[in-house]
Structure 1
Amino acid sequence: MTDQAREFDVIVYGATGFVGVLVARHLAGFAPAGTRIALAGRSPEKLEAVRQRLKVDWPLVVADATDAAALDTMAASTRVVITTAGPYAKYGRVLAHSCAKAGTDYVDLTGEVLFARDSIDENHELARSTGARIVHSCGFDSIPSDIGVHVLHSQVQADEAGELTDTTLVVTSLRGGVSGGTIDSMRYQVDVMSKDRGLRRIGASPYSLSPDRQAEPDLGRQEDMVTMPASEVDPSLRGHLAPFVMASYNTRVVRRSNALRGWAYGRRFRYREAMSVGTSPLSPVLAIGTKVALGGLFVGLAVPPVRYVLDRVLPKPGTGPSEQRQKSGHFTMDVFTTTTTGTRYTARFRAKGDPGYAATAVMLGEAALALALDREKLPKSEGGVLTPATGIGDALVDRLRTAGMEITARKL
């Protein structure tokens, strides 16, 4: 079902970028017939080249990320805006605000905690008043985490097995490259936080994206950089676990989902993420080495001489792996919990394709299609700055399953 009062159902903004092209390609191949899609960006020549490359006849919309008037007009012309133009703190704030004003749903790929916090403060109440669903983090950051816990909670509810308590996502299998856009976002956040102690405190808080920090339960310290024997999470696991690079963002998104739902997951819900480094005798050493390396990366980006070297070797924005390498990628994430009744549950989110590119393009595209076309399946909401679970929920689960992703939950 479409809203004929608006010219388009979906606009892909940043369509000339590496991930933007992948998202547009997915929509070209899998959007239902009759879906009204447009490509948008600041360069008409590059947009035309993408349109010819994809062999589609979609309209082109020219708008610069800093041109508020152009973005207002664009937002008012469509039901949903997809944006892949980051870093979002630099290129996303005006567009998110335009969508909130226009009552237009919005999805992006951000993993930037400070941008998301600013968007909540600036847009949440406005979007509630217009009915817009501003849904950040609709790619590998943070759909597997947020939707994984969502389906886990749904299964526990269906079984009347209580509430979630200690919950851990384990990246049990992963093959894929690091996005140049992700690295650029990290650089930008490091630059901002290195100059402002207050922003560093926001970035470090486990509840930095929560609607009301004072209302959150006091669950003690919740660390992101965890190393531990895997059996501490679940007896079925072997080897050691290392910090997961995206944990510092994903955990905050999941905690926001819990708070937006009135702490439906549970007031004793503690959430963390970690990554398996295998089961060899060296796995404890690998886990510690991973922790040191991740800490060194963030410190290195803040030290000019080291950053100069890192900038020469890390992926550049707008670049990505070959099509063959994208196809050979994959990921599996398993979420484990114990409920207040003492019952153990697990959920699995598994997909083929490079996580940050091929799989992310599917997740982002399907999130937008769910918002545009599956209105009757969406969670009840007045709008606002939401999460994938609270803004799209089961409508997204259904679409991702249809797209070939495995999303399951069961009692252990």
Structure 2
Amino acid sequence: MSDRELDVVVHGATGFTGRLVARYLLDHAPAGTRIALSGRSRERLAQVGEGLGPAGADLPLLVADSHDDDALADLAARTRVVATTVGPYERHGLPLVRACATAGTDYVDLTGEVLFMRASIDACHAAAAHSGARVVHACGFDSVPSDVGVHLLATTAAAHGLGRLEETRFLMTGAAGGVGGGTVATAQGVVERLASDPDARRVALDPYALSPDRAREPDRTVDAPPGDGPDPWGVRWDAVTGRWLAPYVMGVVNSRVVRRSNALTGWSYGRGFRYEEAIAVPGRVVGAPVAAAVAAGTLAGAAAFAVPPVRRLLDRVLPEAGTGPDEASLHEGWFAARLHARTTSGRVVEAVLRSPGDPGYVSTARMLGEAALALVHDRDRLPDRAGVLTPATAFGDVLLRRLRAAGVTFRAL
């Protein structure tokens, strides 16, 4: 792809998150990186570019609607990498994936939609593998911390001769940030689809929904051990960490991505790998009601989106599409997490993660930006894989090093 005129195109640059990604790339890309903005309106793209300062005003502008196959094919043919923030992805994303898979163009996005990722795998994995394209979903807050964090646990265990991973947990220990209109619209669309479509619900609730070889994955039952059963929605005390565990709403997405990484690498984490995610609340006594409140709020939120009258009421008060947190919230936000795994040797490996900035926006723009830059500038150091991939299988240690250099803590204990 060295003969292409552009290195990275930010598709959806006129949206709230798209502007943040464009800003990140302008601030952090090595000199000479050829960046362009893409979206439906040339006028709005020009306004975004001017808002990014002198360097932004000179960026090339590509007009492409997410459902215009010819425009998307032209976009994909002109660049080495497409970074897209246009969601909900199930509604708008597949034509661009197809265009990139056909053209051999690398692709990264921010999706947290299991149904879209499954559709992308079914429709485009073979074509991308044939063309050499790396199509990498979930390159933001969902699911880089989880996926790269487990990769760190596995490589740490291997480096110290501790064997492979067995029971593994990702625990969100703290976070602060806002919610934007795009996130709300995606969540609403997912809940509506699951409430009305039994087949979609069956796929989304399958813990191995994204596996490349579902038949070789274990059957899961309600009596399975922790990390090997249905997604945990209750509140429970965890003696290992000394914390109450409450359901983490994005665990139903991140866990599927992590399990796909294990399968794509020939089950390198282990055939006995079991994985779950939760929110960890400290305090044996005071933590119990907090964890219960988190669980109740999570279930109530999902139910509210599924009930049309309540959903219409929420539409009046929740953020509109294209909006996001204010500047202060963006920079005051943060998140922290802890991972631990028991290995086949009986020993435990642990890691901690921490990232400054609003998780869904500042951290996400950082993660997507570094993923795109890795595809441009570190391609010869990436794992030798193509197709529809995950962050861990597409980037391995390369993204880990990039994020550390960008201020994100990924530390094995």
Regarding TM over 0.5, the answer is yes
1:224–1:247 CA contact under 8 A, matched in 2 = no
Moved more, 218-227 or 173-182: 218-227
1:386 aligns to what? Answer: 389
Structure 2 segments unaligned to the other structure (5+ residues):
none
**TM-score normalised over the length of structure 2:** 0.95
CA displacement, residues 8-44 of structure 1 (integer Å, 9 cap, x when unaligned):
1100000010000000001111100000110000110
2:127 aligns to what? Answer: 126
2:157 aligns to what? Answer: 156
CA displacement, residues 299-329 of structure 1 (integer Å, 9 cap, x when unaligned):
2111111111222233322111111111111
After TM superposition, which residue ranges in structure 1, 4 or more long, deviate above 6 angstroms?
A: none
**Aligned pairs (5 A) from 1:10-409:** 10-55=8-53, 56=55, 57-218=58-219, 220=224, 221-231=229-239, 234=240, 237-279=241-283, 281-381=285-385, 383-409=386-412
AA in 2 matched with 1:36: R
Which SS does the other structure have where 1:193 is aligned? helix
2:179–2:325 CA contact under 8 A, matched in 1 = no
CA displacement, residues 117-170 of structure 1 (integer Å, 9 cap, x when unaligned):
100100111100001000000000000000000011010011111110000001
Q: Relative to structure 1, is the Cα distance of residues 183 and 209 closer, same or farther in structure 2, using a 3 angstrom cutoff?
A: same
1:224–1:248 CA contact under 8 A, matched in 2 = no
1:227–1:287 CA contact under 8 A, matched in 2 = yes
User: Distance in 1 between the 2:125 and 2:236 partners?
Assistant: 37
CA RMSD, 1 decimal: 1.3
Structure 1 segments unaligned to the other structure (5+ residues):
none
Moved more, 190-199 or 134-143: 190-199
User: Distance in 2 between the 1:311 and 1:117 partners?
Assistant: 28
Superposition deviation, residue 281 in structure 1 = 2.4
AA in 1 matched with 2:12: G
Which SS does the other structure have where 1:277 is aligned? strand
2:165–2:273 CA contact under 8 A, matched in 1 = yes
Which SS does the other structure have where 2:288 is aligned? helix
CA displacement, residues 319-362 of structure 1 (integer Å, 9 cap, x when unaligned):
11111111111111111111011101101221100000111100
User: Distance in 2 between the 1:280 and 1:206 partners?
Assistant: 30
Which SS does the other structure have where 2:208 is aligned? coil
AA in 2 matched with 1:12: V
Which SS does the other structure have where 2:196 is aligned? coil
**TM-score normalised over the length of structure 1:** 0.95
The aligned length equals 403
Which SS does the other structure have where 1:40 is aligned? strand
